[in-house]
Amino acid sequence: MGVLSAVLRSLRRTTTISGLAVGALALSGCAGSSLDQSGSQGSGDEVKLGLLVPLSGVYAPLGEDMRDGFQLYLDQHGGRLGGKTVRVVTVDEGETPQTGVPAAQKLVTQDRVTAVVGVVNSATALGLRDFFHESKVPLLVANAGADAITGERSSPYVWRTSFANGKVGAALGPAVAEEVDGGVYLITADYAAGREMVGGFRKAFEAAGGKIAGEKYTPFGKTQDYQPYLSAIRNSGAKAVFSFYAGAEAVNFVKQYKQFGLADRIPLYGTGFLTEGGVLNAQGASAVGVKTSLHYSTELDTPINKAFVEAYRTKHGKAPTVYSVQAYDAAAALDKAIAKADGTGGEDIAEALGGIGTIDSPRGPWSFDADHDARQKYYLREVRSDGGSFVNAVLGELD
């Protein structure tokens, strides 16, 4: 299908997706850069980028961290990437594809950005893959972990600076199989990310000899009371729990896990989103002892990370998160790609992304693999109290 028909089809879909979605589009300038109203792609010495992150819904705090991480990189580089002045158009991804897909389409068809950075929700990323592929506009996914978009549905235009869901789950499988003597209960938000993180964990855990004691998929974005599920866990005889929740759902789940009396009896494991950043501040003491796998912690003891944490704190008044780093690194990847590209068109930049090599990141060095996913280390983390605040202490590397 040609680009024009893809765009028309997308616009038709935008209209049908709902007036609601249009209402949910929040448009704001950011990154110390002016919001362009001209509908041009940016020209000559300038490049126009779209930032698509949730500023509403259960994942809004994640989106704010991504915006802040992207902004920090730009500030540290004089508002320029690859020698070009950057203009950023920011739109609200919202909670689901119903808001995220039309928001992305607007960036491409109306604002005519050269590339888009962002996307938190896996279902939204899956809904956008064909649109970016057919429009030939690079999408740098700076969170959403949907396995397929750097797997069987990879595209020359889709690159990921974050992770694939299955890999983050799988990283923890062997460690839990070794630590836990008895069955493990799986519980997660019921959508692509949760199913894939649990799926990746299960495969690696069972391969290492682990046994599953039960499983539950809770309605995404709608579950506030986890008590019925916690009762099922208690009655299952499980010796540990593995879970994926993020944002507001992670806060509720971990607090209720403690209040219900499970934390002291059945150790809680998960992917690191369960205890990350603002979520951990809100969980407080309830989260102490939770063990997770992730490709970042503020506690990584490297000069690059220490400098990053300090600069981020100075600029934004709080600690960074994995979401901040993923967006910071998307800016770093674009910086290298724009500098290398033959022109400033989307196709030039997509091609150049393949040759940028290793990025020395606060998370440790990483590079794009053949499917455009981040090849990186995963760390085993444990929540500890640190003089009145709470941190994800790094216990070691996972393989």
Give contact residues for ligand PHB (rule: CB under 6 A): 59, 62, 120-122, 143-145, 165, 193, 246, 273
| 3-class SS of residue 373 | coil
Whole-number Å distance between alpha carbons of 260 and 156: 48
Complex with ligand PHB: residue 52 or 62, whichever CB lies closer: 62
Could you tell me the smallest distance in angstroms from the CB atom of residue 142 to ligand PHB?
A: 11
Could you tell me the smallest distance in angstroms from the CB atom of residue 158 to ligand PHB?
A: 14
Could you tell me the smallest distance in angstroms from the CB atom of residue 121 to ligand PHB?
A: 4
Whole-number Å distance between alpha carbons of 242 and 31: 37
Could you tell me the smallest distance in angstroms from the CB atom of residue 321 to ligand PHB?
A: 9
Whole-number Å distance between alpha carbons of 54 and 19: 18
Q: Which residues pair with residue 81 across a beta bridge?
A: 84
Could you tell me the smallest distance in angstroms from the CB atom of residue 91 to ligand PHB?
A: 18
Complex with ligand PHB: residue 141 or 341, whichever CB lies closer: 141
Whole-number Å distance between alpha carbons of 114 and 81: 13
Q: How buried is residue 83: exposed, middle or buried, by Cβ count under 10 Å (0-12/13-18/19+)? A: exposed
At what angle are helices 247-259 and 227-236 packed, to 10 degrees? 60
| Residue 179, CA atoms < 13 Å, CB-side half-sphere | 16
Q: Are 194 and 250 in contact (CB under 8 A)?
A: no
User: Quick count: other Cβ atoms within 10 Å of Cβ 78?
Assistant: 10
Complex with ligand PHB: residue 144 or 213, whichever CB lies closer: 144
Complex with ligand PHB: residue 109 or 122, whichever CB lies closer: 122
User: Quick count: other Cβ atoms within 10 Å of Cβ 282?
Assistant: 16
Give the pair of three-digit tokens for residue 109.
Answer: 């068809």
Q: How buried is residue 219: exposed, middle or buried, by Cβ count under 10 Å (0-12/13-18/19+)? A: exposed
Complex with ligand PHB: residue 119 or 204, whichever CB lies closer: 119
Complex with ligand PHB: residue 145 or 346, whichever CB lies closer: 145
Complex with ligand PHB: residue 273 or 328, whichever CB lies closer: 273
Overall residue count recorded for the chain in this entry: 399
Complex with ligand PHB: residue 33 or 143, whichever CB lies closer: 143
Could you tell me the smallest distance in angstroms from the CB atom of residue 324 to ligand PHB?
A: 12
Structure-token match 């630590």, residue found: 179
Could you tell me the smallest distance in angstroms from the CB atom of residue 181 to ligand PHB?
A: 29
Could you tell me the smallest distance in angstroms from the CB atom of residue 244 to ligand PHB?
A: 7
